[in-house]
């Protein structure tokens, strides 16, 4: 069983930064993909960013150039550095890990507001 524990959400002003972390424990397999989805009220969940264990990244067009995903394979931990945050980035962010199946974190609230 794999568990994902997220941290790093919160309230930030427009233009500010936050860093999300997602630590995996349990029987993870390699290769795998870690990433984040987000869901705003009344909207569908959307992919924000992902990164394979081999280092290949993928970003939503809306965050490209502002968000950076990285990971520490030894610690099986992913990071999402979010810069130049906008009010429309407000959502619950869910990390995930996909290997033989998809595992989800508990979600963390990110609120961008003045």
Contact 112, 14 (CB under 8 A): yes
Which residues of the chain, if any, have pLDDT below 70? none
Return the pLDDT at 78.
96
Return the pLDDT at 100.
87
Nearest to 51 by CA among 27, 81, 26: 81
Q: Phi and psi for 28 in degrees, rounded to 5?
A: -85, 155
Please give the torsion angle defined by the CA atoms of residues 88, 89, 95 and 98, in that order, rounded to the nearest 10 degrees. Answer: 60
For the beta carbon of residue 7, count every other beta carbon within 10 angstroms: 14
Return the pLDDT at 45.
95
Return the pLDDT at 26.
86
């Amino acid at each position: 069983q794999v568990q994902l524990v997220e941290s790093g959400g919160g309230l930030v002003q427009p233009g500010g930064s936050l860093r999300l972390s997602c630590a995996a424990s349990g029987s993870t397999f390699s290769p795998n993909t870690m990433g984040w989805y987000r869901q705003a009220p009344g909207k569908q969940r959307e992919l924000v960013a992902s990164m394979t264990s081999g280092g290949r990244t993928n970003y939503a067009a809306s965050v490209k150039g502002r968000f950076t995903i990285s990971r520490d394979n030894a610690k099986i931990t992913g990071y999402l550095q979010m810069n130049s945050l906008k009010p429309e980035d407000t959502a619950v962010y869910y990390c995930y890990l996909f290997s033989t199946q998809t595992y989800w974190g508990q979600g963390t609230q990110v609120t961008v507001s003045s």
